[in-house]
């Protein structure tokens, strides 16, 4: 299975101007946290390299948890490194405590396993 992009790759291959896509609740303004069995006990925000990948993940999330429809979740573009730093710095209990940046291959594999 393809793995999420490692931190050293992110820092070396992406600039301050690099964009990524994340799923955000329009109602609450928060990024969607999607648990990952590879990281037990963590609350990761998932970042995607394309809007299409974020859209595909959102479709799957809403299939599994239709009650999230009221949150009006949508993909939004963010500056990747700035968003990662913000998550790393936020120590608020209950908020995201980690992040995963997905390559297109990883999203494809994930969606075709479920």
pLDDT at 20: 96
At CA 83, angle to CA 78 and CA 87, rounded to 5?
145
Q: How far apart are CA 36 and CA 58, in angstroms?
A: 15
Q: Edge-to-edge strand order for the sheet containing 19-25?
A: 73-79, 19-25, 44-48, 98-102
Say what the pTM is: 0.82
pLDDT digits (tens, 9 = 90+) for 45-66: 999 999 999 999 999 899 989 9
pLDDT-derived band of residue 95, with 50, 70 and 90 as boundaries? confident
Q: What is the mean pLDDT of residues 24-33?
A: 91
pLDDT at 1: 47
Contacts of 89 (CB under 8 A, 6+ apart): none
Backbone angles phi, psi at 103, to 5 degrees: -75, 160
Q: What is the mean pLDDT of residues 29-43?
A: 86
């Amino acid at each position: 299975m393809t793995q999420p992009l490692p931190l050293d790759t992110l820092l070396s291959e992406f600039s301050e101007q690099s964009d990524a896509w994340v799923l955000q609740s329009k109602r609450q303004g928060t990024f969607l946290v999607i648990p990952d069995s590879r990281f037990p006990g963590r609350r990761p925000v998932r970042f995607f390299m394309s809007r299409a990948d974020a859209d595909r993940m959102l479709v799957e999330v809403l299939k599994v948890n239709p009650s999230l429809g009221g949150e009006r979740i949508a993909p939004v573009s963010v500056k990747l490194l700035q968003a990662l730093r913000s998550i790393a710095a936020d120590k608020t209990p209950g908020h995201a405590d980690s992040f995963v940046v997905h390559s297109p291959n990883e999203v494809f594999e994930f969606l075709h396993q479920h």
